[in-house]
Copies of this chain bind each other. A is one copy, B any other.
Amino acid sequence: MLRISKLTDYAILVMVELNDSHGEVISAHALAAHTEMELPTVSKVLKLLAKAGLVRSFRGINGGYSMDRPAGSISVAEIIAAIEGPIAMTECSVEVGLCSQEEVCNLRSNWRRISSAVARAMEGVSLAEMSRPMRRPVRQLGPELKIATLNS
């Protein structure tokens, strides 16, 4: 199904929630309550997000997390990458030497292209856009989406 992991899904939820209170510091505890998820799970996600620099963490009493970048400048791709690592469809798209078939298989460059096309698709959607529900009926993606032809 080519899906993101649940943890990544949670991460988006948490970021959306965090974004609702602009710049405020919120504890993992409070975030867990708001999102109706378990504290340990929320904590795990927040640690990963903090490590990736998507949220700022504050220790001690009254500590917690806050966003220090505007939601419009954070893409869905970044959040996914923070939790799952680089967006790549195959091992060989990440770096050379990971796949044993590399000598025989000449698909590597093609996969890299597809991966980066997919990454681009998700870089085009910001957290700000995820934050508000879509009010109007979904309009089909139009011909704006094109992929450069391979081998060109």
Residues in chain A within 8 A of chain B (CB atoms): 1-4, 9, 12-13, 16, 36, 76, 80, 84-91, 94, 101, 104-107, 109-110, 112-114, 116-118, 120-122, 124-125, 129-130, 132-136, 138-142, 144-152
A90 CA / B3 CA spacing, docked (Å): 6
Pairs A–B under 8 Å by Cβ, sample size 26: A1-B84, A1-B94, A2-B2, A2-B80, A2-B118, A4-B89, A9-B90, A13-B107, A16-B107, A36-B104, A106-B133, A109-B133, A109-B138, A110-B134, A114-B122, A116-B140, A117-B125, A117-B145, A118-B122, A120-B121, A121-B121, A124-B149, A125-B147, A139-B148, A145-B145, A145-B146
A90 CA / B12 CA spacing, docked (Å): 12
Asked if A87 and B1 sit within 8 Å, CB to CB, the answer is yes
A60 CA / B129 CA spacing, docked (Å): 56
Residue on B with the closest CB to A91?
Answer: B3
Chain B residues closer than 8 Å to A84, beta-carbon distance? 1-2
Asked if A138 and B112 sit within 8 Å, CB to CB, the answer is yes
Chain B residues closer than 8 Å to A138, beta-carbon distance? 109, 112-113
Chain B residues closer than 8 Å to A125, beta-carbon distance? 110, 113-114, 117, 147, 150
Residue on B with the closest CB to A84?
Answer: B1
Chain B residues closer than 8 Å to A117, beta-carbon distance? 121-122, 124-125, 141, 145
